[in-house]
Structure 1
Amino acid sequence: MQASAFGIAILWSVPGMSQADQTLPLPLTGSAYRVARQAYGSYDSHRYQASVGYAREAIRQRPDVMSLRLLLASALEAQGDRRAAVRAIEDAIKALGPEPALRARRSALLAIIASGANSPSDPNALTGNMAKTAQRAYRAYAKHDYDDAIAAANEVLAARPDVMPLYLLVIDALTAQGRDLDAYNAVIAATQRGGDNPGLRARRRFIGARLGPVAASEAYDALRRGDTDIAISRARAAIGYAPNVPGARDLLIDALIQANRFDEADQAATDAISANPSALAPWLQRGAIRERLGQRDASLADFAHAMQLQDATQQEQRNGRIVIADMALATGDPQRALDALNGLDPDGDATDLMIAVRRQKARRALTSSVAANTADLPMPQLDCTRIDSGILCTLHPFDPAYAQYAAAARAYDQHDYPLAVAQAREAVRIAPDDPVHRLLLIQALASNGDQAESKQEAANLIESGMIDTLPSMNAAYFASNAEQPALAARYYNEAVRNDELPPSSLLDAGYANLNAGAAPVAASYFRRGIDADNNGDISLQPQQAFETRRTMSELDRTWGVNASVGYRPTGDQTTFVASPGSTADKSVQAGAEAYWRPFGYFDGHTIELYARAYETLYSKAGNTTGTPSLEGALGVRAKPFASQNLVFAFERIVPLGSAVQPDWLGRIAYSNGFGTDLRVDTPSWWTGQLYAEAGHYITHPDNYATFSGELGRSYRLDAIDPHLVAFPYAVLGGDYNTQINNRASMGAGVGVNLRYWFREDAYHAPRSFVDFSLQYRSKIVGDDRAKGVFFNASFSY
């Protein structure tokens, strides 16, 4: 019996209203439980006065139990005192807050009071059997026997159709049974028979608010499966039930557009605007419809009004501007498209690229003639989702693959890259000419580790010509990804001219120009990037900033001076100013060289003119030393491959001392290594370097070759100076000379190198160094020249 009384307590609560987020009261126990049982029992026995008393006592003991509050209101109403019932509900709202069930119960009571409905105290002066039948209807209603209540009320109404309270009782009983459509039809029938009144209006609104979302949901389902006739019918029904049900008007307009019923769509949009003039979507939809109908001036007026609305969210406003821009581009008015997009700064969402693509299309269209085509206009589309009160719809620009693109974008944001790739592929398949979809696919492939395919897709984008529709920055990025530096540099430079290059892309622009062979332009970008880092506009990692300055040092170098002195020179890169070749003599040699790069960096293909002089200071074998051994050289060397340290040299040996013979010398050298530069991000790092050289003397034929390989770990000596680096290493070295009896030798050992870097500034890493190297090798093959102590000191400026 308690359950039936509780059913009365929630009769007017809103069905489906979730209470999941509410704090549930503790179960009734003890005295409160016993009193509550008496309250429910009295109610079910129709002893309403006793039920009121017990309910009040139970509420005093447990004021937090909402069902007791509703029971009190029901008992008061059953006594015929609906105003007291309203006061009881208002007390409950003050104590428990505006719970949906309480608010709905209060609204229902107030509506019934306003209409004077289903009160057994005044059955419109019915007499005799009709009065008894009417009383039976009211008693059945109070007992929740709604079928009997409806049957008894209809029996009276058949003879007395003027008794409005019984119509209201039938409507309420049908509503309590969940028969909303029958209840709504009963409201309409009662209105047609007896005219409208506050009670009928209240019920029409209440029941319509329940039917409207259902009809809107049916319209949404029909539209998704392409059944526009059903969608139109159900959307109109939803509006009839509840004119303000969310999404119904949007769905009706969209369904009419899809059905090519543009005149009706125009009227539906006009009705939507009348219902809510501040809503953005119907203004945009009507503007597009009127453009489709050839009503250009009316369309422009609607779009202009839409741009003035402020109630929409920022996302909706941005999408609306894109819709207007699409329509302008399609009708051959690129300047209006630019005007629509004016002032839309990047917001970090998906609309950024959409806006940028359309701006680029508009700029390019300004230089060409585009014919209007009203039969193929990009009509805006709806993106809808279900909510409790109806369908929530947002308007977005035309995109036949919007669902797939949106799914790919969501997956990408959630780092589900395989799903993002799959959805982006489908979007590209559906709309292959949309560069936005292709860009997402390229990014998703790269993030998923499919670098080769990402590069291929970027190349396809370029080959298709769609890259020209992209904003300069996006085009530059994808040209770089496709390993087309010249094209990337072109777009980066275009972005600069359009004032679109962000500081964060300055270095990328620099390297693109550098790889494209525009070293001076690259240097200007690197300078700006360094300035941006120093000014706080960007934040480079210390090593990245250092490497940028190192690149600047290489770009700006046009000349240099080197000098060295060594005991048994080792044939590595730090002894390049010593006498070329090898010797079995344990000697000390010294030399100096100056060089000039007439073409500067020359895209990494450096050409140097050089002059060198060197002499032997000491010879254990008693060979010529001092001034008679002074030898000069004039030559040219070239590095033909930018990515490989392969150098060819040809020089004239000039005798400066009496013991020197003139000659011609051709040389080839190769070097490679890692970790040979100063680093600022770590105090120690692995270092390896290899140097090999071969040469041929022409006048006095002689062939020689020498090589040296070192592997170890470099340590920055910060306690002394952060520019000082110690490098202990293992070494393998050897040489070959046709003028020595034992032509080949090889040795291995250990060594230590100490290098001090200097001459740096804000734009350049240290460009000069002093270097000291000491080795000891053991012979592997050959004669004794492969073993012993080797020392070298060098200077590079």
Structure 2
Amino acid sequence: MTLKTTILIPVLFALSAATPAVAQSELPLTGPAYTIAEQAYKQYAAGNYKAAEELAREAVRLRPDLPRLRKLLNDSVRAGRAAQAGKVSGARPSARGFRHADEAYRAYALRDYPAAAAAARRAVAADPANPRYAQLLIDAVAGSGAEQALQETLAAALARFPRDPGVHAAALRAKQTLALTWRQRMYLALQAKDHAGAIQAARASIRFDPASLVTRTILVHTLVSVGRFEEAASAAQAAHPTSPALLALAAWADMARGEEKQAADGFARAISSAADDDERAAIGLAAADAGLARAPQHAGTLPSGRLPELRCEMEACRLVPATSGASPAYRAAEEAYAAYAQGNFALAVERAREAVSLSPDSIPFRRLLLQGLSAAKRQHEALALADALLREVEDDASLLYARAELNLQLGRAEQARRDFNQALTTGKLPTAHTLTALIETGRGMEARVMLEGEPTSMQSITALERAYLSLRVNDSALATRYFQQADDLGQMGGAALADAAYAAVHSGQDLAAIRYFSRVLDAQDAGSLPATAEQRFGMQRAIAELGRRWGTQASLRYGASDTRGTIGSPGQVRNDNTQLGVETWWRPFGYRNGEMVELYGRLFDTVAAEAGAPKGAASVQGMLGVRWKPWSAHNLLFSLNKLVALGSASTSDWLVQGAYSAGTGTDIAPSRTLWFTGQFYIEAGRYLEAGRNYLSSETQLGHTFRFSNISPALLVTPHLSLAADYNSDAAKKHSAALGPGVRMRYWFRGDRYAAPRSYIDVLVQYRAHAAGDRRVAGTVFALSTQY
């Protein structure tokens, strides 16, 4: 084991700082200093900490050489602050025990801890309600090193003063002192190659400081190095490993115990959480060497000198490749792993071939070569090597999985499925590979159950990997949950943010999607994430739509019957009216991945009509309705409306409607100035009380010009229109017309993150009569806006 000596320096320093300096000789406390100190002790014992502080400060001024007076001053200051905050258990005012306490302070200053403990016990017995005496006893017993006595003292003090911060601080201080003492003994034992003594000292240190990751890691490493794998696995499990070093050591112990699946998961977690390429290479070599230890020719043994070395500084440890006794083949493999970790796959293949040539019987080195060939996209060579390895090591889960992936890349789906199934039957695949194999063999439901299972079963794969696997089983809600976990852990990059945004859209989490899309746009602005103008605008359009919870639109229309009846009066018969329509809508449940529910209210009025036809106030029609878009992939709408008669010539009825639309090129194309535009709309409805049915449709085909020299949001679309309708109340029930038209639309209310949310639209058409009635033929003029 290699432990950097820099760790010994702070530890020894901490040990020396945790105990008072040895007083070689102490002049007696006499005269004014003695009188003032005695009064300070009395005030402290009586709970008058402010007075005790003032007296102790004067005593220290007179005798600055006495540590016990400085300790009295510090204790008085701390106790006074705690008492002022209302945190000190109320000790009854009493001067009992102060002489014993003074004696204990004197002995403690001379490092005569047994005498200090005896005097402190007498002080506690004289005044058991004084928490300061309990603190003094804890410090004295801790200094004596009597572990059993300290445990009993701590239990008694904490039971009597469960909320006193001073007592808790003294208890923590005592435990840390003993933990550091045992840790120092552990380092000395390791230097002396006394592994049994180091293990005993490490366990003793952990008893007093269970949070020390360094001590736990060194304990596990030492246990593994001497072949005590069961104990190593138990010690690692007790540490709840999350650091790469502990995870890898635990996996090594698992592999040595025959727990191959658990070991594979552990190594996968360790590699994914490694801090840098060097640590990834060390862990990769550890995984290979652990596999070599399980190979038939090495069964039940560990390769000598192959356990990675452990380097610890302060409160962190990391693994580095073992250097003692390394063969040329091992060094070549180490270079291959390092090249692989750095993404230099060509060099990884070259070094792996060298390792194999030097040690042709080594299966781990040939696995390494297979890994390099696969990463270098040399699938045919990799597949041949995988076939050869599987002839030697039948039913090896990792080799079967690797060959399945190669078959997939080569388009051999049936062979891939067969290998995936065979790998699954071994029960030894790591969790991430198990999930992928289940998905590739059509067992997505089983994969979903695993992903939704206990968190402990998923520890071997990162939250980000879980998110992508959840997407593969079409569970966007679960993917969004794991993306959020990955984000909290700092695992999200720019591309992952975009995927997380779309997953949040699909799971109906609009606000989360907006946040992710906004961060993607920030990354694009910073130059860290390339994107086309269309990709960027698509995200901005998504933000605009996701953030829309209400809106209003209005239309003023003259001429032929409106074939898009969502705003105007549905299925109107006349073609020479001028009609005004206004709608306000609200999405109570948000965007819901395009499966929206909207509540709305409409008003429309015929503002001009031929002589004798209703217009003005008499024609004002109200409508309240709800519409539902049940499928996100299809723009199909259903609505139920209550028509409210507001004018003398308007109608009271119920109207049910269905509508479908499709289109391309109807939005801004930021990188183009000319593109094809086509859209189709059809709507059908029935007035329930009147018994009238109608159907209307329109198709527009044309090209859109974007006048970016005037404004990038100004679009002009010349087009050909084909309109048709059906009205069961009309004398001629059918009508059709076609003709040219032009639409000019100006978008506004956009910003850095959102595409323009509103527009003003002007439409002019002339439709020549084609069939049936003439109500959809003639001149059309419409001015509309959406906000």
Q: Does 1:710 align with 2:700?
A: yes
Give RMSD over aligned pairs: 4.9
Task: Report the alpha carbon displacement of residue 745 of structure 1 after superposing the two structures with TM.
Answer: 1.4
What pairs with 1:543-582 in structure 2 (closer than 5 Å)?
Answer: 543-568=534-559, 571=562, 576-582=566-572
Task: Report the alpha carbon displacement of residue 494 of structure 1 after superposing the two structures with TM.
Answer: 2.7
Out of 647, 662, 678, which is 1:688 matched to? 678
Out of 269, 276, 294, which is 2:227 matched to? 294
Contact 1:607/1:639, CA 8 A, preserved across alignment: yes
Aligned to 2:591: 601
What pairs with 1:357-396 in structure 2 (closer than 5 Å)?
Answer: 391-392=357-358
What pairs with 1:136-285 in structure 2 (closer than 5 Å)?
Answer: none
Aligned to 2:721: 731
Contact 1:634/1:652, CA 8 A, preserved across alignment: yes
The total of aligned residue pairs comes to: 474
What pairs with 1:218-617 in structure 2 (closer than 5 Å)?
Answer: 294=227, 326-330=251-255, 344-345=274-275, 391-392=357-358, 398=364, 402-410=368-376, 412=377, 438=401, 445=408, 457=440, 460=443, 463=446, 468=458, 469-568=460-559, 571=562, 576-617=566-607
Task: Report the alpha carbon displacement of residue 554 of structure 1 after superposing the two structures with TM.
Answer: 1.4
Q: Does 1:789 align with 2:767?
A: no
Amino acid aligned to 1:524: R
Alpha-carbon displacement from aligned partner over 1:279-316 (angstroms, at most 9, x marks no partner): xxxxxxxx99996983679999xxxxxxxxxxxxxxxx
Q: Which has the larger radius of gyration?
A: 1
Aligned to 1:750: 740
CA distance in 2, matches of 1:407, 1:386: 10
Contact 2:653/2:688, CA 8 A, preserved across alignment: yes
CA distance in 1, matches of 2:466, 2:287: 10
What SS does the aligned partner of 2:754 have? coil
CA distance in 2, matches of 1:687, 1:443: 43
Task: Report the alpha carbon displacement of residue 461 of structure 1 after superposing the two structures with TM.
Answer: 7.9
What SS does the aligned partner of 2:775 have? helix
Amino acid aligned to 1:530: L
CA distance in 1, matches of 2:500, 2:514: 10
Relative to structure 1, the CA distance from residue 586 to residue 399 in structure 2 (aligned partners, 3 Å threshold; closer, same or farther) is farther
Amino acid aligned to 1:457: E
Relative to structure 1, the CA distance from residue 348 to residue 750 in structure 2 (aligned partners, 3 Å threshold; closer, same or farther) is farther
Unaligned 5+ segments in structure 2 are: 1-219, 234-243, 289-297, 307-328, 334-349, 418-435, 452-457
Alpha-carbon displacement from aligned partner over 1:572-606 (angstroms, at most 9, x marks no partner): 55x62111113143211111111111112234221
CA distance in 2, matches of 1:389, 1:674: 58
Amino acid aligned to 1:486: A
Contact 2:575/2:776, CA 8 A, preserved across alignment: no
CA distance in 2, matches of 1:551, 1:322: 41
CA distance in 1, matches of 2:390, 2:755: 46
CA distance in 2, matches of 1:342, 1:578: 60
Task: Report the alpha carbon displacement of residue 702 of structure 1 after superposing the two structures with TM.
Answer: 0.7
Unaligned 5+ segments in structure 1 are: 1-286, 301-318, 359-373
CA distance in 2, matches of 1:347, 1:479: 28
Amino acid aligned to 1:407: L
Contact 1:401/1:431, CA 8 A, preserved across alignment: no
What SS does the aligned partner of 1:585 have? coil
Relative to structure 1, the CA distance from residue 565 to residue 768 in structure 2 (aligned partners, 3 Å threshold; closer, same or farther) is same
Relative to structure 1, the CA distance from residue 338 to residue 391 in structure 2 (aligned partners, 3 Å threshold; closer, same or farther) is closer
CA distance in 1, matches of 2:388, 2:629: 48
Task: Report the alpha carbon displacement of residue 391 of structure 1 after superposing the two structures with TM.
Answer: 5.0
CA distance in 1, matches of 2:616, 2:519: 51
Q: Does 1:697 align with 2:687?
A: yes
CA distance in 1, matches of 2:495, 2:573: 54
Contact 2:267/2:283, CA 8 A, preserved across alignment: no
Contact 1:777/1:788, CA 8 A, preserved across alignment: yes
Alpha-carbon displacement from aligned partner over 1:599-643 (angstroms, at most 9, x marks no partner): 122342211111111111222474211221111111111112122
CA distance in 1, matches of 2:732, 2:287: 72
CA distance in 1, matches of 2:702, 2:353: 67
CA distance in 1, matches of 2:736, 2:278: 62
Task: Report the alpha carbon displacement of residue 683 of structure 1 after superposing the two structures with TM.
Answer: 1.9
What SS does the aligned partner of 2:227 have? coil
Relative to structure 1, the CA distance from residue 730 to residue 684 in structure 2 (aligned partners, 3 Å threshold; closer, same or farther) is same
Aligned to 2:642: 652
What pairs with 1:603-642 in structure 2 (closer than 5 Å)?
Answer: 603-620=593-610, 622-642=612-632
What SS does the aligned partner of 1:784 have? coil
CA distance in 2, matches of 1:521, 1:352: 38
CA distance in 1, matches of 2:395, 2:253: 22
CA distance in 1, matches of 2:639, 2:255: 62
Give aligned-pair identity as a percent.
Answer: 31
CA distance in 1, matches of 2:282, 2:610: 76
Aligned to 1:764: 754
Amino acid aligned to 1:651: N
Amino acid aligned to 1:607: V
Aligned to 1:249: none
Relative to structure 1, the CA distance from residue 357 to residue 527 in structure 2 (aligned partners, 3 Å threshold; closer, same or farther) is farther
